[in-house]
Amino acid sequence: MAEVNINKLGEAAGPIVNMLLQVFAKDGQPNYERSLLFAAGLAGYACHKAVWELYPELFEIAATDKGKRYYFGDAVNKFMYEGKYSVTNFCSGIYHHMEPDKPVPDYRVIAEYIVTQIGNEKYGIWHKYKPEEVYPEIKSCWNGIYPNMTAPYCTDAAEWPVLYGIVLENIMKYAMESGLEALNATKEEVYMMAIECAGFLSKMDDDSI
């Protein structure tokens, strides 16, 4: 990856964060659950799309007995879980900022859980949202905002997960500051929710639904 202009991507993230907080708001109150779902979903989708753009041959594809296909491998894991600019590192950074006296939760717990749920027809993200229903919404949102809110600010596809990792980081911050009661969650659970949704979406494509 070329040198990342983190300041430029941080500025680009602001309007996306505001959009996610406003578009789901009701009576002037943010819907933190939907905002977090979409921020995490977009971050995971960005990881997946970046691999398709840069290293499609590195995907490891697993098919279920229903004919659905899911996408694994080191390339997508690098964007999602590993390194300074991974989605998980942004999530860990904001958790540490919000809870400086507590250890950051082990993301591997939820990452391993995701793998066990691939092909489980009863699985729901956060025990609630069916991935096959979330995926089309995330894809539609990505396509809608890509021309004006993503492409002009990213040097190449490797910066897509960085941009949306920053978006997710900011939505998590708002959720941890003001949305815990609405989410009925702790800050640790918000962290795990973000990793779960992003991680699952990073493995999905059109043939996963």
Is residue 126 within 8 Å of 193, Cβ to Cβ? yes
Q: What is residue 203's three-state secondary structure? A: coil
pLDDT score recorded for residue 3: 80
pLDDT score recorded for residue 22: 96
Place of tokens 């708001």: 25
Q: What is residue 15's three-state secondary structure? A: helix
pLDDT score recorded for residue 2: 61
Integer CA distances (angstroms), 72 to 40, 65, 118, in order? 18, 17, 11
Alpha carbon distance 41, 3 (integer Å): 25
pLDDT score recorded for residue 11: 97
The 10 Å CB-count burial string (b at 16+, else e) for 9-47 is: bbebbeebbebbbeebeeeeebbbbbbbbbbbbbbbbbb
Query: Closest by alpha carbon to 70, among 114, 9, 34, 27?
Result: 114
pLDDT score recorded for residue 71: 98
pLDDT (tens place) for every residue of the chain, 209 residues total: 568 889 999 999 999 999 999 999 999 899 999 999 999 999 999 999 999 999 999 999 999 999 999 999 999 999 999 989 999 999 999 999 999 999 999 999 999 999 999 999 999 999 999 999 999 999 999 999 999 999 999 999 999 999 999 999 999 999 999 999 999 999 999 999 999 999 999 999 999 99
